[in-house]
Amino acid sequence: MRTIISLILTFIVTLTYSQVIDWDNFDTKLIDSLVLEEANLYRKSNSKLELTHSPILYNHISLRQTEIQRQQQRAFHPEVDTLFDLVQDSLVIESESTNPGKKNVYKSFTLAEICIKTHKQDDKFTTYQELAKYLIRLWILSPAHQSFLLNWATVGEHKYGIGATSIQVGDYYWRGKIFVGIYASLQICGTYLQ
């Protein structure tokens, strides 16, 4: 299953490498998958565990966290602990169904989140792939964000990591001007499966 998903993501990346961003019809599903793929490429290049996309994490946390940032036009970490507690049982079931024959050892996940706000910059990115690389690069340049990106959900023989990301566009007011704002969050969860 992972091989099929990897092949599909590789195919998508190849097809969309030169796809120019249509800011009026921004393809959130495409950019979300590309950012997670770029995060995994970075983790893999540093010998870290790749993250499996989690629809539960995406639908219940990532979309919400980024939407709140977009509405408030700032990068921050909206309170998520209560919501995360509500979805942990579902994440356990999802992780076990994704890995037949394995059980979640502690019946829980740990959550890390990194967020960012930037704006449209034609001199830095014009395609979805370039934007995905740009967002990951911004996180890598921040020591705290880089540490979470590389080290969360990576320790232990039976470690299992999931991830989800949401990128949304909206207004970005700065110095009396309105820009096309880009709001992003990436959630990483880790647990143990045996």
CB–CB of 168/28 below 8 Å? yes
Residue 6 reports pLDDT greater than 80: no
Per the DSSP assignment, residues forming a β-bridge with 164 are: 187
Cα–Cα distance between 130 and 112 in angstroms, integer? 25
Give the residue extent of every domain in the chain. Answer: 2-192
CA-based radius of gyration for the chain: 17
**Residue 164 CB partners (closer than 8 Å, separation 6+):** 32, 36, 53, 54, 55, 57, 58, 61, 62, 186, 187
The 3-state DSSP class for residue 27 equals coil
**Residue 92 CB partners (closer than 8 Å, separation 6+):** 104, 107, 108, 109, 191
The per-residue pLDDT for 80 is 95
Among residues 133, 143, 149, 146, which one has the least CA distance to residue 186?
A: 149
Per-residue pLDDT, averaged over 94-111, amounts to 91
Task: Give tens-digit pLDDT for 104-147.
Answer: 988 889 999 999 999 999 999 999 999 999 999 999 999 999 99
The per-residue pLDDT for 11 is 63
Structure tokens at 193: 């499966």
Residue 156 reports pLDDT greater than 80: no
CB–CB of 37/9 below 8 Å? yes
Cα–Cα distance between 137 and 103 in angstroms, integer? 35
Mean pLDDT score of the chain, rounded to an integer? 92
The per-residue pLDDT for 43 is 96
Structure tokens at 89: 């049982």
Per-residue pLDDT, averaged over 22-51, amounts to 96
Which band of pLDDT confidence, cut at 50, 70 and 90, is reported for residue 10?
low
Cα–Cα distance between 75 and 191 in angstroms, integer? 27
Strands (E), the chain: 52-53, 110-119, 159-174, 177-192
Answering whether pTM is above 0.85, one says yes
